């Protein structure tokens, strides 16, 4: 292992750019034979990764080469949808840089789920609850590799975020925004209104979360901000209290098993049975964490809720509730069993055009305009827990002057990364959760 590359990745504050923000350095491990670049961007309306590759493919490939060098990985596959490969002018099997090849993925949902993508690209199935490295694979996202290239080659830490603003807006935009910028300032700058009866989704329409944009800020994990009407399934499915959902499930679930038949994780052979989870939720038997342990295997794709159930039940929400219980009890499903892919898997994945219609987002699907000038902010609120692991620890005080790229909080103990100023200015607030810098 090349420890100096690994150290630069940590020092640079590089984390996974979607999902939970896993520190990138901690994914590096001996024993991998393949690096997969997750450029699948399977969430509708998001164009962040595509635009980043179009503008900075070389930078992203440099990041991949550094990871290959650090962990001694002989081969990389750039995994992206065939139509994006066409837009980028590259094709299946093409060698983009030494030992880095194009791997086209079908235009189906949810192809970007790490476990599903690994199977699609390599034919290997990671055992339930295990990490990709157990099958000799490491996966990084496009923007993570882009950030790694700067952190290692120029010692430039992560201070900005690439993101898409889309949905019910005049134009879909891809922007580079200072981390910590307040969304209300960002929206004001681009004259973006959030009308009554509309919500802001952080992430894609399938797996993103409804957020309160008046108080939210841009995080290292913010990939998209979508303004969407509350009545479309993509937004309506995210609401509702659990009590109502359980009582609806207990009166309406006919145990047809369609949610299980279409679950992409179940189709890979994982012992995840959403219909049984719904049954457990509605039974009178007292729940134990052991009874719901396989909930850990759910990737939260929402297929069971949006495409499978005709009774308006959300197995996903039930399972997400179970995952919270498991997290509180520090319980995790780890299986030693080999699993076998369902022979009908390929035919049960959902064409992306149908998925967009099911979510109600097809009218908002359009090509993004890239704004190459980075956005400027007057104030940033730098969260100290934008990553999995220990929060960063402040190393500045109120009144200090900082420049872009100065460290404002060091890495905490154990798994952690530092946090850096994303604008130049004066520190006006410090506590254990955030640091505010004003220009
Ligand atoms: S698809 Fe809906 S009705 Fe059928 S088993 Fe699943 S939750 Fe119940
Ligand atoms: S959200 Fe539903 S369909 Fe998707 S993995 Fe979880 S249980 Fe399966």
Query: Where are the domains positioned within the chain?
Result: 3-153, 159-232+360-376, 242-359, 378-439
Residue 284 has pLDDT above 70, yes or no: no
- Cβ contact 24:16 at 8 Å: yes
- Cβ contact 328:355 at 8 Å: no
pTM above 0.85, yes or no: yes
Residue 286 has pLDDT above 80, yes or no: no
Q: Give yes or no for residue 223 CB within 6 A of ligand 2.
A: no
> Residue with the nearest Cα to atom 8 of ligand 1?
253
| Topology annotation, domain 378-439 | OB fold (Dihydrolipoamide Acetyltransferase, E2P) (2.40.50)
> Residue with the nearest Cα to atom 6 of ligand 2?
298
Q: Looking at the DSSP assignment, which residues form a beta bridge with residue 18?
A: none
Q: Using one digit for the tens of pLDDT, what is the confidence trace for 202-218?
A: 999 999 999 999 999 99
The pLDDT value given to residue 244: 78
Among the residue ranges 27-36, 273-282, 344-353, 406-415, the one predicted with the least confidence is 273-282
Decide which of 3.30.70.1430, 3.50.50.60, 3.10.20.600, 2.40.50.140 is the CATH code for 159-232+360-376: 3.10.20.600
Q: In whole angstroms, give the CA distance from residue 208 to residue 217.
A: 15
Ligand 1 centroid vs 82 CA: distance in angstroms? 33
The pLDDT value given to residue 249: 79
Q: In whole angstroms, give the CA distance from residue 157 to residue 312.
A: 45
Q: Using one digit for the tens of pLDDT, what is the confidence trace for 335-352?
A: 888 899 999 999 999 999
- Ligand nearest to C-alpha 313: 1
Q: Using one digit for the tens of pLDDT, what is the confidence trace for 388-414?
A: 899 999 999 999 999 999 999 999 999
- Ligand nearest to C-alpha 319: 2
Q: Which residues neighbour 123 within 8 Å (Cβ) at sequence distance 6 or greater?
A: none
Residue 285 has pLDDT above 70, yes or no: no
Report DSSP state, residue 308: I
Mean pLDDT of 67-71: 96
The pLDDT value given to residue 243: 76
Range 3-153 has CATH code 3.40.50.11540: yes
Q: Give yes or no for residue 302 CB within 6 A of ligand 2.
A: yes
> Residue with the nearest Cα to atom 3 of ligand 1?
253
Confidence band of 233 (pLDDT split at 50, 70, 90): very high
Q: What mean pLDDT is reported for the chain? A: 93
Q: Which of 301, 296, 226, 291 is nearest to 262 (CA)?
A: 301
The pLDDT value given to residue 95: 97
């Amino acid at each position: 292992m090349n420890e100096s590359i690994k150290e630069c990745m940590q020092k640079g504050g590089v984390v996974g750019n979607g999902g939970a923000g896993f520190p990138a350095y901690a994914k590096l491990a001996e024993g991998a034979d393949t690096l997969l670049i997750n450029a699948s961007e399977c969430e509708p309306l998001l164009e962040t990764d595509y635009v980043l590759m179009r503008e900075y493919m070389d930078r992203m490939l440099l990041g991949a080469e550094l990871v290959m060098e650090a962990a001694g990985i002989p081969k990389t596959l750039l995994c992206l949808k065939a139509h994006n490969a066409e837009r980028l002018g590259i094709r299946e099997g093409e060698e983009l840089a030494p030992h880095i090849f194009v791997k086209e993925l079908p235009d189906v949902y949810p192809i970007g789920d790490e476990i599903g993508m690994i199977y699609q690209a390599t034919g290997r199935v990671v055992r339930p609850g295990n990490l990709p490295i157990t099958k000799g694979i490491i996966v990084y996202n496009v923007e993570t590799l882009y950030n790694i290239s700067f952190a290692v080659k120029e010692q430039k830490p992560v201070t900005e975020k690439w993101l898409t603003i889309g949905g019910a807006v005049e134009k879909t935009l891809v922007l580079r925004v200072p981390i910590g910028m307040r969304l209300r300032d960002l929206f004001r700058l681009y004259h973006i209104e959030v009308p009554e009866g509309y919500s802001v989704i952080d992430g894609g329409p399938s797996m993103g979360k409804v957020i309160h944009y008046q108080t939210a800020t841009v995080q290292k994990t913010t990939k998209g901000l979508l303004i969407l009407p509350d009545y479309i399934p993509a937004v309506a499915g995210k609401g509702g209290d659990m009590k109502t959902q359980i009582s609806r499930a207990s009166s309406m679930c006919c145990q047809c098993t369609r949610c299980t038949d279409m679950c992409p994780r179940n189709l890979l052979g994982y012992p995840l049975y959403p219909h049984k989870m719904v049954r457990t939720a509605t039974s009178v038997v007292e729940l134990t964490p052991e009874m719901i342990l396989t909930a850990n295997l759910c990737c939260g794709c929402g297929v069971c809720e949006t495409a499978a159930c005709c009774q308006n039940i959300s197995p996903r929400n039930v399972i997400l509730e179970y995952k919270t219980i498991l997290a509180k009890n520090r319980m995790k499903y780890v299986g030693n069993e080999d699993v076998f892919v369902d022979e009908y898997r390929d035919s049960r994945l959902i064409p992306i055009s149908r998925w967009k219609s099911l979510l109600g987002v097809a009218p908002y699907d359009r090509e993004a305009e890239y704004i190459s000038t980075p956005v400027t902010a007057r104030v940033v609120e730098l969260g100290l827990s934008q990553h999995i692991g220990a929060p960063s620890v402040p190393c500045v005080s109120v009144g200090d002057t900082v420049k872009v790229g100065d460290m404002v909080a060091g890495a905490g103990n154990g798994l952690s990364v530092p946090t850096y100023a994303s604008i130049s200015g004066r520190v006006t607030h410090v506590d254990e959760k955030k640091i505010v810098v004003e220009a």
